Structure 1
Amino acid sequence: MIRLIIILAVLVCATTASAGEACRKVEHLGDGYTVCTFDPATDDIQLFQNDRSGKPYGSFRALENDLRQDRVYVRFAMNGGMYLDDQSPVGLFVENGRELKRINTNKGWGNFHLLPNGVFYLLPGRAGVMESKAFATSGIKPFYATQSGPMLVIDGKLHPSFLADSTSFKTRNGVGVTGDGKVVFAISDGPVRFHDFATLFRDDLGCANALFLDGSISSLYIPEWQRRDGLFPLGPIIAVTELLPG
């Protein structure tokens, strides 16, 4: 019995260490970022929208408290796509294989409709980022997916609307997938241009495709770093979880 307790303690410590090591501070073009990398083949990356009562979680704390009832630990979380006033997704949202919102390829106002926009999706053991219209005709049936926009990087090229000398600076967060299939999340420490944020993913993080998740409400949850952003209400949430022993 004592030996089993020791083994479980070692496993918990190892998990905690690996969770902390998944994230790092990065500097790019003079701006600071927090970057977290996970492997969809071994890390449990999920999307969350509504709690067990059917209401939007709205915060990392609400998600954490809800999952704790099932002994599920949230290792990492980030806001996961744009949402409407009722906190429902603007575009495609798939959770546990169920499509809760259809893909949105309409023209319109705002960053979501700064075409091309895109989809971050998860299948068993792998992940991807794809331009929305290409995704709609791809035949992919994701287990999880969220649509946002604009795309930051499309097949190695920056979004055509981004300007290197833009005067639009905002806090930004996004997601990309590396050539070896790792999922990379990044959030800026302060206001940055779209152009600079996109080149971070392409040039420094090795992502041929990357997607903007949101701007001013960009939020991050890394418990090992004692970071639990909670200033803004959230819609979709991307989280990396694990089942606690016991």
Structure 2
Amino acid sequence: MFDMFIRQIKKIRGLWLLSAWFFSSVINAQNSLQTGVSFYKVNPETETIRMYWRQDDGTPYQTLGRLIDAKGKSHQINMAINGGIYDKEYRPEGLYIENGKTLRELNTKSGEGNFYIRPGGVFSIGNGQAKIETLEAFGAIPDITFAVQSGPMLLQHGKINTKFSQTSESRKIRNAVGLTAKGDIYFLLSRQPMNFYEFAHYAAEQLNITELLYLDGTISGMYTPSGGVPSQRYPFVTMITVERK
């Protein structure tokens, strides 16, 4: 009788935990819809971050769907998102490191477009640690496993880039990667058009992000198992995944 009682308690506890997880997910989804921003927080204990550009035969993946189809059987992908800005030849505009190999060099040139708004930055993974650094502060390439350069930095030390205006009418779909002072890693995607100031303000106020690097805009998309593969009108070049270890 006692064993049956214990089993019932465990069953009730399991159902309670499942319900709590479900309602928490629903609340997060509702908050995402209300704010117009979806985000994914990485769990470093159970998840790892990887980056992809080309397949083994040298052809680019180009779509999240193709990447999921190619890697989904051998890798449990919990989130995938497009990476940094690319050039007219569909190559990363700046630094790109994959599996410790530098495939594109650091780009410190001047130019037009979001990529060249300063300060620019680099998101990197090395020795199990994620970093977001400005181009001026970036270094130690030999220790890096994955890295992508993009720009501009939307938040630096918790402060919004002074080049952004709260009243800017340049509102687009945008995605970014952010770090908190505690080292939490977030990937963000706006579900409605936002200007840079609004996007950065949300990250700082709602998620306590202190370093936020813009990845791309307009064409951006995010995959999660619950949300499915988003439709794409244009190809992606680099893509970032969060995978189960």
TM-score (norm 1): 0.83
What aligned pairs does 1:75-154 form with structure 2 within 5 A after superposition?
75-136=78-139, 141-154=143-156
Secondary structure, in 3 states, of the residue corresponding to 1:197? helix
User: How far apart are the structure 1 equivalents of 2:35 and 2:244?
Assistant: 32
Greater C-alpha radius of gyration: 2
The runs of 5 or more residues in structure 1 that have no matched partner are 1-13
Tell me the equivalent position of 1:225.
227
Farther-moved stretch of structure 1 (33-42 vs 46-55): 33-42
Farther-moved stretch of structure 1 (58-67 vs 146-155): 58-67
Please point out which of 49, 55, 58 is paired with 1:51: 55
Offset at residue 96 of structure 1 (A) = 0.6
Offset at residue 87 of structure 1 (A) = 2.1
User: How far apart are the structure 2 equivalents of 1:92 and 1:148?
Assistant: 8
Q: What one-letter code is carried by the residue in structure 1 that aligns with 2:46?
A: T
Tell me the equivalent position of 2:67.
63
Tell me the equivalent position of 1:188.
190
User: How far apart are the structure 1 equivalents of 2:111 and 2:44?
Assistant: 33
Q: What one-letter code is carried by the residue in structure 1 that aligns with 2:103?
A: L
Query: CA 1:24–1:56 in structure 2 vs 1: closer, same or farther (change >3 Å)?
Result: farther
Contact 2:177 2:212 in 1 (8 A): yes
User: How far apart are the structure 1 equivalents of 2:142 and 2:150?
Assistant: 17
Query: CA 1:59–1:132 in structure 2 vs 1: closer, same or farther (change >3 Å)?
Result: same
Question: Given the alignment of the two structures, is residue 234 of structure 1 paired with residue 202 of structure 2, yes or no?
Answer: no
Query: CA 1:189–1:161 in structure 2 vs 1: closer, same or farther (change >3 Å)?
Result: same
**Which structure 1 residue ranges, 4+ long, deviate > 3 Å from structure 2?**
23-28
Contact 2:46 2:244 in 1 (8 A): no
Q: Which deviations, in whole Å up to 9, do the C-alpha atoms of 1:156-187 show, x marking residues without a partner?
A: 21112100111111111101012222210111
Query: CA 1:145–1:41 in structure 2 vs 1: closer, same or farther (change >3 Å)?
Result: farther
User: How far apart are the structure 2 equivalents of 1:157 and 1:172?
Assistant: 19
User: How far apart are the structure 2 equivalents of 1:139 and 1:233?
Assistant: 28
User: How far apart are the structure 2 equivalents of 1:83 and 1:90?
Assistant: 4
TM-score (norm 2): 0.83
Offset at residue 72 of structure 1 (A) = 1.7
Tell me the equivalent position of 1:72.
75
User: How far apart are the structure 2 equivalents of 1:134 and 1:140?
Assistant: 15
Secondary structure, in 3 states, of the residue corresponding to 2:236? coil
Q: Pairwise CA RMSD of aligned residues?
A: 2.5
Secondary structure, in 3 states, of the residue corresponding to 1:225? coil
Q: Specify which structure has the higher proportion of strand.
A: 1
Farther-moved stretch of structure 1 (40-49 vs 226-235): 226-235
Q: What one-letter code is carried by the residue in structure 1 that aligns with 2:149?
A: Q
Contact 2:127 2:143 in 1 (8 A): no
User: How far apart are the structure 2 equivalents of 1:24 and 1:227?
Assistant: 19
Q: Which deviations, in whole Å up to 9, do the C-alpha atoms of 1:92-130 show, x marking residues without a partner?
A: 101111111111111100000011111111123221111
Number of equivalent positions: 224
The runs of 5 or more residues in structure 2 that have no matched partner are 1-17
Contact 1:222 1:228 in 2 (8 A): no
Q: What one-letter code is carried by the residue in structure 1 that aligns with 2:199?
A: F
User: How far apart are the structure 2 equivalents of 1:226 and 1:110?
Assistant: 31
Q: What one-letter code is carried by the residue in structure 1 that aligns with 2:80?
A: A
Farther-moved stretch of structure 1 (146-155 vs 222-231): 222-231
What aligned pairs does 1:170-185 form with structure 2 within 5 A after superposition?
170-185=172-187
